[in-house]
Amino acid sequence: MYSVTQEEYEKHRGALFRHFLPDEPGTSRDGYNGNRRGEKSAAQELIETKRKSVQSYFTRFFRERKGETNDHFDLKRVKYDDLGIPQDTGGLNRLRFKGENLGIVPTQLNHIPPWLYRHFEYAHYVALQFNQHQKFQKLQKLRKLQKELPIAERATEIVELLKTNQVLIVAGDTGCGKSTQVPQYLLKAGYTGVACTQPRRIACTALARRVAFETLNQYGSEVAFQIRFETTKSQRTKLLFLTEGLLLRQMEKDSLLEKYNVIILDEVHERHLTSDLLIGLLRDLCSKREDLKLILMSATINLDLFKGYFEGAPVVQVPGRLFPIDVRWHPIKQFIDQSEKKTHKIDPEPYLRILELIDKQFPSTQRGDALIFLNGVAEISMVAEHLKNYAEQTKGWIILMLHSTLSVEEQDKVFDQSPTGVRKCILSTNVAETSVTIDGIRFVIDSGKVNLIKHEPGTGTQKLTEFWVSKASANQRKGRAGRTGPGICYRLYSQEQFEKMEDFTQSEINRVSLQEMSLKMISLNLGLDPRTFPFIEKPSEDVLNEGLEILKFQRVLRSDRDLLTLTALGNMVSKLPVEVPIAKMLVYGCVVDEIEVMLTVAAGLSVQSPFTNRSYRELEIVERRASLTSPMGDPFTLIAVFREWVLQKAYEGSARRWTMENGIDEHRLYEISKLRSQYRQILEDAGLVEKASAAETGEDDSRQRRIDQGEKRKLYDLKRSQRNNDRRQKVLNANKHFDKILEDKEEEDLEAEKDPLKADVKTVEFLLSHKQRDVETIRKSHKISRRTAEVVRVIIAAGLYPNFSILDPVNKYGYGQEMFAHTRLKPFAQIHPNSSIAQYHPESIDPRQSSEGFSQLHQVPFYGLLLETTKPYICNVMPVPAVYALLVAQKIVIEDWTELIVDDFLELKFRKSEDCRSIILDVKEIRYELTKGLASKLVGEEGFSSRRLTKYIDLLNQSIVDKGIELSVKRNVHPPKVLTGIGIHSPDGGIDKEEDVDDLVQRFEKNDVTTHDDRDEEDQKVLDELRSDVMCPPTRDMVEDAEKLEKKKKEVPKESYYEKLLKRQKAKEDKGDDKDMKKPKLEPIDVKEE
Amino acid sequence: MSEQQPSTSSEKEKISDEPITNQEQLIDPFIDFECHICRMKERSLFGELKVVDGSYDSPVYFIRDPFKPPSKDRIKKPCLDDFLVLGAPCSACNQPVCMSDACSLFFGTNFCAPCVSRERRRFPPQLIRGIITKYEAKQSSK
């Protein structure tokens, strides 16, 4: 019998603990954890757990066995039989592992009785073994869960089928495990190069993380994801989750997708535009690549469609797994005030009643959260406000919101846990239907409504309208209640209504405009024609043709050929992963050497507005940020905001505070800065901008390189530790609802910002990618002079074209006034009240016209998007002087030198005929320079200098401002849908078709154009001289001469500029006929007149 | 067999540890481990696991702890907690068996459930009660 008293143990305890379980190096004793954001290192945590378990072992030993035992804890004394079974007691027999110096008491612990030492050693190993045991159980549990998934039974079948078939369809409903398991089966079967597409970025990252965890490769890179900005891919990656759009983009470079052996298209039943296109393309690819395997994974709802499209492909159908869900119908009266002009406001009362019902029927001790599906942000805010009052009274609920315009931090809050006794109630749009899965939902409250964006053919409008959901999505919503346990779905509509609903939600291809998709198809260079492509579901021919027309309007598709061919510009545009207008801006930005600013504008237009939704309602913030806004419109506001942020970030170190004070979502700015560098990369690859040299980036400096390396290492560590931290679920504060949830975080951030050592991942990343030099570039380039501003305006307009509008003549320009603008196809669109113009600078677009409508100040607003919600709105508005429309328009008809009709839509009437002539002259000059610059950029010609173009634009602006050219603006109420007769039409019926970019490009490529060697001699003075000539009212002959000269410039390009200039001056002096060496400019051309 | 091995542990550890982190995996060090009782199947390493704070005295099937990020600290020697032992051969029948309570028992050395059941008279009864009940329940359900 061995024994030890508690006193004896207590006496030696400290020394033993210090010996066996010392603190992690770097952890200070006083309990202060100096780590970033105060968290303990995982190793230290493990040590503390072990200490606790040793301590509790001894506590139990004293309590249950009174400190007595027969175990001698001495391995040396144990006898074993022939099987190795011990014939003697001694606790160590039950331990799987042993220390090296087992039982040998180290000298510094000589004062401790050897038996106690050995006993403590035993307890310590028990703790180690317990840790092993826990990890093993975790693994066991994981494998058990996997085995229990409905799809697990079919694992071998799936792998076998894939051996003999090229295409396989796996159909299974929510919870069957297809997305996580099927890729793993492939990995186990030895496939490498597996790509799995997802419609959403968030699904890519989440699935990659989950599958990596399940394959025990959580910290390796065998399973990786790739989304727009981020990838975890490495050479060792065998399975890659990526977005559909990204796979499509990869097809552009590698049309056979040779790096993949298996392609899995997941969630094809959602019928997104890209997935529809991919299905078609990959079906085609299968016939080209016999070794490629294709797996389609879909829900069971519209399985027949896919079966029919892939004839003969085997189908593996798996039941879903959901807990039983009780459906309760609570129909409410729909649309109480439908007759009123104001939109039908949602009545929050029924939602409140359901919450009350839940409180009544289920004790708060039973866990389970609620999820409310509503159609839009406005409805969510309204109901949330109402429910918050209730929640504040009862203290039983935390009200949260989830929709895509929230900041990422706010969105993440829905995943946090509510404290015991309190339920969370999440009000969500349909993002929670498929994209976002929240655990622990027991109650679903379904309004039955959804807001869908629908392209309205014929007007170019994106219309956001409220619809009844389809049966498929109503059931999907219901299913959200049964993921973790039995649930209840409250439907706020009647069963009859449910019966009336459509079976499926209309697929995207039937709902949206098809121009971007058409462009993508054509740019794949596979000779595809969207009009004849065998889509899984044929899109409407009208919508398709309209899309093609728009592409022609945007000059990315050649309008003069039947076969769909991209223009040189279109070719470049399709290489940039952005919408056409933004791509065009970038390309033109390169032409005029304003790439820094254009990168910001383009990036800014590709992401959501950096101003938070909420900030528009807070008067203080709205006033504070007034100085950032620009009367030149939203793009310029964006430039100012970005500049200020970069400076705050780089020099002040108080960007977080600044963004909060100005109601700005910093994430959007990070996105912009990332997009900027991505776009720059693309432009560099395309040869449009030059790569920064090593000397410029500091890469030739070994010291700098070392610093960078260190920083990169730090960033990598930070990212990793953050990723690991993210896994911990946080608990919500019961008193903080949707409007207050970020308070703690904000305070913490502000606190952290004071200490540069606590910089978060994003800041480090930002500082690493923005060196002093880059920040200085932004600081300088984004402070826009008047002169640059004009150029930038023209470039943005060129990108946005044909999206321009005409202000309504009866508008009142004041704060809070509704201002209407007529677009070509949609009259009476309103300037969005949140735009810089409407909110801060309405007076700046007031033409203050005379009674006949003449004014020097007429402007036409260009816009990024025409979106119809309750009303048609134009967003991202940028007004420019009306004359600028002439610079980008395709068709200008000159009527007797006072009136110009632009694109059969905008009518400009000049008070004086000479103004009109001079303007036309300037305009032609600029247009030609722009075309030429574009062409030389597109073929990579070095010779073009933007100085002249900049100068011309400046002069045009000056002449508008200084000379005070007065004109009136009218609109053609019924402009034709399709524009015919492109070119500049003179009053005498001649049409100046202008130089086509493509012809120029071709000519450049044939090397017809030789060096522009004497460009450098160009002198500002010469230019000024030239322009001063033009200032005298030119006669028609003069205009023609100028045109001829222009033409000649193109045709006899060897002629130096100076020579041309001389000739031109001579021509003017002669006032007449030196047509000897020029071809007639105005030849009758076979252009279709309307 | 109760004797401690002289401490060559750190060297041995390197052999078993390197292939996981090393870039060039010329020979795949991983083998398939399958428990002959519960059919649990994992890719794992096989060999002696000896690290600074303890060792297994017979070869085991093990992997790097998959639930914990690999140590940032390259100097730090690996310890038992950096690994997860999946199983070991049964010392009686030599078949691989996993660490689950229902499949194996460690008493002096590793035994699988069928061997424990067969040799039950040689074990202290209270020690093997659990595994025997689980094993017999499983046998009868088959």
Q: How far apart are CA A805 and CA A823, in angstroms?
A: 4
Searching chain A, which residue's CA lies closest to the CA of residue B1? Answer: A84
A133 and B CB contact within 8 Å: yes
First to last CA, chain B: 37
Query: Could you tell me if residue B2 is inside a domain?
Result: no
Q: Over 90: is that where the pLDDT of A154 sits?
A: yes
**Confidence (pLDDT) at A946:** 83
DSSP string, A58-94: HHHHHHHHTTEES----GGG--B-TTS-BSS--GGGG
Q: Which domain holds residue B61?
A: 9-141
B1 and A CB contact within 8 Å: yes
Q: How confident is the model at residue B81 (pLDDT cuts 50, 70, 90)?
A: confident
Q: Over 50: is that where the pLDDT of B13 sits?
A: no
Q: Over 60: is that where the pLDDT of A1043 sits?
A: no
Per-residue pLDDT tens digits for A26-47: 655 444 444 444 456 777 888 8
Q: What percent of chain B lies above the pLDDT cut of 90?
A: 41
Q: How far apart are CA B118 and CA B112, in angstroms?
A: 10
Mean pLDDT across B101-129: 91
**Confidence (pLDDT) at A65:** 87
- A338 vs A232, higher pLDDT: A232
Q: Over 70: is that where the pLDDT of A175 sits?
A: yes
B53 and A CB contact within 8 Å: yes
Q: Where is average pLDDT lowest: A249-263, A870-884, A1030-1044?
A: A1030-1044
**Confidence (pLDDT) at A726:** 55
- Nearest Cα to Cα of residue A603 among A856, A942, A229, A108: A229
Q: Which residues pair with B110 in a beta bridge?
A: B106
Chains A, B: CB contacts within 8 A come to: 102
**Confidence (pLDDT) at A793:** 93
**Confidence (pLDDT) at A1016:** 40
Q: Would you call B80 and A218 a contact, using CB atoms and an 8 Å cutoff?
A: no
- B chain contacts of residue A100, beta-carbon cutoff 8 Å: 4-5, 7, 9, 54-55
Q: Would you call B4 and A42 a contact, using CB atoms and an 8 Å cutoff?
A: no
- B chain contacts of residue A218, beta-carbon cutoff 8 Å: 66-67
What is the distance in angstroms between the Cα of B44 and the nearest Cα belonging to chain A?
11
Angstrom distances, CA of residue B112 to CA of A37, A252, A824, B91, B132 = 47, 57, 81, 8, 11
Per-residue pLDDT tens digits for A779-793: 888 988 888 899 999
**Confidence (pLDDT) at A369:** 93
* Average of per-residue pLDDT values in chain B: 80
Q: Would you call B108 and A96 a contact, using CB atoms and an 8 Å cutoff?
A: no
Which of A46, A84, A724 faces B1 most closely, judged by CB atoms? A84
Mean pLDDT across A242-260: 91
Q: Over 80: is that where the pLDDT of A753 sits?
A: no
**Confidence (pLDDT) at B51:** 87
Is the separation of the CB atoms in A824 and A975 below 8 Å?
Answer: yes
Searching chain A, which residue's CA lies closest to the CA of residue B123? Answer: A85
Per-residue pLDDT tens digits for A308-341: 999 999 999 998 888 899 999 998 876 544 444 4
Q: Would you call B53 and A78 a contact, using CB atoms and an 8 Å cutoff?
A: no
Which of A75, A132, A717 faces B2 most closely, judged by CB atoms? A75
Query: Could you tell me if residue B39 is inside a domain?
Result: yes
Interface of A with B in 361-380 (CB under 8 A): none
Mean pLDDT across A957-962: 85
Best interface-test mutation with B: which of A71, A135, A185, A209 has the largest number of B CBs within 10 A?
A: A135
Provide the CA A96 distance to its chain's centre, in angstroms.
52
Query: Could you tell me if residue B125 is inside a domain?
Result: yes
**Confidence (pLDDT) at A247:** 94
Mean pLDDT across A583-598: 91
Best interface-test mutation with A: which of B80, B82, B134 has the largest number of A CBs within 10 A?
A: B80
Q: Report residue B113 as tokens.
A: 């459930």
In A237-368, which ranges are E strands? 239-243, 262-265, 293-298, 315-318, 325-329
Q: Would you call A219 and B70 a contact, using CB atoms and an 8 Å cutoff?
A: yes
B54 and A CB contact within 8 Å: yes
A994: how many CB neighbours lie within 10 A of its CB? 18
- B76 vs A429, higher pLDDT: A429
Q: Would you call B81 and A75 a contact, using CB atoms and an 8 Å cutoff?
A: no
Q: Report residue A378 as tokens.
A: 């406005």
Is the separation of the CB atoms in A170 and A297 below 8 Å?
Answer: yes
Q: Over 60: is that where the pLDDT of A1018 sits?
A: no
**Domains with residue ranges and CATH for chain A:** 2-144 (no CATH), 150-318 (3.40.50.300), 325-506 (3.40.50.300), 874-1070 (no CATH)
Number of domains present in the structure of chain B: 1
- A315-318 sheet: strands from edge to edge: A223-226, A239-243, A194-198, A262-265, A293-298, A167-172, A315-318
**Confidence (pLDDT) at A636:** 95
Per-residue pLDDT tens digits for A758-774: 677 778 788 878 878 88
- A chain contacts of residue B85, beta-carbon cutoff 8 Å: 96, 132, 136
The distance between the two most distant Cα atoms of chain B, rounded to a whole number of Å, is 52
Query: Could you tell me if residue B112 is inside a domain?
Result: yes
**Confidence (pLDDT) at A137:** 94
Searching chain B, which residue's CA lies closest to the CA of residue A127? Answer: B81
Is the separation of the CB atoms in A666 and A629 below 8 Å?
Answer: no
- A chain contacts of residue B66, beta-carbon cutoff 8 Å: 139, 213, 216-219
* Average of per-residue pLDDT values in chain A: 83
Report strand pairing: A891-895 vs A983-985: parallel
Q: Report residue A292 as tokens.
A: 């490629």
Which of A78, A97, A219 faces B69 most closely, judged by CB atoms? A219
Mean pLDDT across A246-265: 91
Q: Over 80: is that where the pLDDT of A122 sits?
A: yes
Query: Could you tell me if residue B4 is inside a domain?
Result: no
**Confidence (pLDDT) at A564:** 84
- B chain contacts of residue A219, beta-carbon cutoff 8 Å: 66, 68-70
Q: Over 90: is that where the pLDDT of A579 sits?
A: no
Searching chain B, which residue's CA lies closest to the CA of residue A131? Answer: B81
Q: What percent of chain A lies above the pLDDT cut of 90?
A: 33
Per-residue pLDDT tens digits for A629-686: 999 999 999 999 999 999 998 888 788 889 988 989 888 899 899 889 888 988 888 8
- B chain contacts of residue A99, beta-carbon cutoff 8 Å: 53-55
**Confidence (pLDDT) at A166:** 95
Per-residue pLDDT tens digits for A1049-1070: 444 444 445 555 556 656 655 5
Mean pLDDT across A712-723: 70
Burial A473-510 (b: 16+ CB within 10 A, else e): bbbbbbbbbbbeeebbbbbbbeeebbeebeebbebbbb
Q: Over 50: is that where the pLDDT of B3 sits?
A: no
Searching chain A, which residue's CA lies closest to the CA of residue B76? Answer: A25
Q: Would you call B67 and A46 a contact, using CB atoms and an 8 Å cutoff?
A: no
Interface of A with B in 135-174 (CB under 8 A): 135-136, 138-140, 143
Q: Where is average pLDDT lowest: A49-63, A208-222, A383-397, A1025-1039?
A: A1025-1039
In A476-552, which ranges are E strands? 487-491
- A731 vs A382, higher pLDDT: A382
**Confidence (pLDDT) at A238:** 94
Query: Could you tell me if residue B1 is inside a domain?
Result: no
Quote the DSSP letter at residue A881. Answer: E
Quote the DSSP letter at residue A489. Answer: E
- B chain contacts of residue A140, beta-carbon cutoff 8 Å: 40, 100
Q: How confident is the model at residue A262 (pLDDT cuts 50, 70, 90)?
A: very high
What is the distance in angstroms between the Cα of A598 and the nearest Cα belonging to chain B?
41
What pTM was computed for the model?
A: 0.79
Q: Over 50: is that where the pLDDT of A811 sits?
A: yes
A199: how many CB neighbours lie within 10 A of its CB? 22
Q: Which residues pair with A868 in a beta bridge?
A: A463, A872
- Select, from the ranges A312-316, A1010-1014, A1077-1081, B25-29, the one with the highest average predicted confidence (pLDDT): A312-316
Per-residue pLDDT tens digits for A596-629: 999 999 999 988 888 887 788 888 899 999 989 9
Q: How confident is the model at residue A697 (pLDDT cuts 50, 70, 90)?
A: low
B7 and A CB contact within 8 Å: yes
Q: What percent of chain A lies above the pLDDT cut of 70?
A: 87
**Confidence (pLDDT) at A320:** 83
Query: Could you tell me if residue B35 is inside a domain?
Result: yes
Mean pLDDT across A500-523: 89
Searching chain B, which residue's CA lies closest to the CA of residue A90? Answer: B108
Query: Could you tell me if residue B21 is inside a domain?
Result: yes
**Confidence (pLDDT) at B19:** 43
Q: How far apart are CA A549 and CA A1083, in angstroms?
A: 27
**Confidence (pLDDT) at A464:** 86
Searching chain A, which residue's CA lies closest to the CA of residue B127? Answer: A94
What is the distance in angstroms between the Cα of B105 and the nearest Cα belonging to chain A?
9
**Confidence (pLDDT) at A1072:** 45
Searching chain A, which residue's CA lies closest to the CA of residue B72? Answer: A717
What is the distance in angstroms between the Cα of B107 and the nearest Cα belonging to chain A?
5
- B chain contacts of residue A78, beta-carbon cutoff 8 Å: 2, 108
